[in-house]
Amino acid sequence: MDPNLTAIERAFQAAKSGEAASMDDILRLLKREGYQVQYVAGLSIRRQLRGLMKGAKSLRGPGPSET
């Protein structure tokens, strides 16, 4: 856990970077890193995170099962 990042900031970082491909991925990552996941429970935040993950996926291109 980075003491300089909040759970929400870390979630957005993971979504933008492509490190997480789903909300489940983000929640597992946050738990594993010691963050409180209830801070990422809001509908608006989740919608924004999904949009970022979708954008990151389109920049990476199709995965191995999508070719």
> 10-34: per-residue pLDDT in tens?
999 999 998 999 999 999 999 999 9
For the entire predicted model, the pTM comes to 0.79
36 part of a folded domain: yes
**Alpha helices by DSSP H, 1-67:** 7-17, 23-32, 43-60
Query: 29-50 pLDDT, tens per residue?
Result: 999 999 999 888 889 999 999 9
1-5, 34-38, 41-45, 61-65: segment of lowest average pLDDT: 61-65
Domain count, the chain: 1
Is the predicted pLDDT of residue 3 greater than 90, yes or no? no
Give the position of tokens 């929640």: 27
Which range marks the domain in which residue 40 is found?
A: 7-61
47 part of a folded domain: yes
